[in-house]
Amino acid sequence: MDPKYCSKTQKEVSTVLKSLFEWENLFSIKVKYFFEGWAVYLREESMYPRCIVIFKPYSKESFSIKSFEINFDKIKSESYKELYVNESIYSISNLLSELKQIIYGKDMLGNIKKLLL
């Protein structure tokens, strides 16, 4: 059976999406399935362009989360600057806690600290 159709994968995706419901006015949310795993993309719908990606490989029990600042050039082409990465999250509750911290600015504060040093 294709891993994206298995009940475990669908339950994980469903749990994450239900938890993201409270932020649906701040982010556009998209789920994509890949050969290696699935991902949820959150694109911020505010003045500060930011994208958060949650990835779960089918072959591992851990999640990863990355945050990117989105920049635009003169011809409206997008480029991405990585702000934050955590590739070792071992439960959905820890993932959601990490995501909440990122939404409230953990990624941007870490980036500002790097610039000041």
Domain ranges of the chain: 3-116
Distance between CA atoms of residues 82 and 103, nearest Å: 15
Distance between CA atoms of residues 27 and 51, nearest Å: 9
DSSP string covering 104-116: TTHHHHHHHHHHH
- Write the pLDDT tens digit of every residue in 5-59: 788 899 999 999 999 888 888 899 999 999 999 999 999 877 778 899 999 999 9
Residues 86, 73 contacting (CB under 8 angstroms): no
Helix, strand, coil shares of the chain, percent, nearest 5, are 35, 40, 25
- Write the pLDDT tens digit of every residue in 63-115: 999 999 888 877 778 788 888 999 999 999 999 999 999 888 877 766 665 65
What's the pTM?
0.85
DSSP string covering 58-84: TT-S-EEEEEEEEEE-TT--EEEEEEE
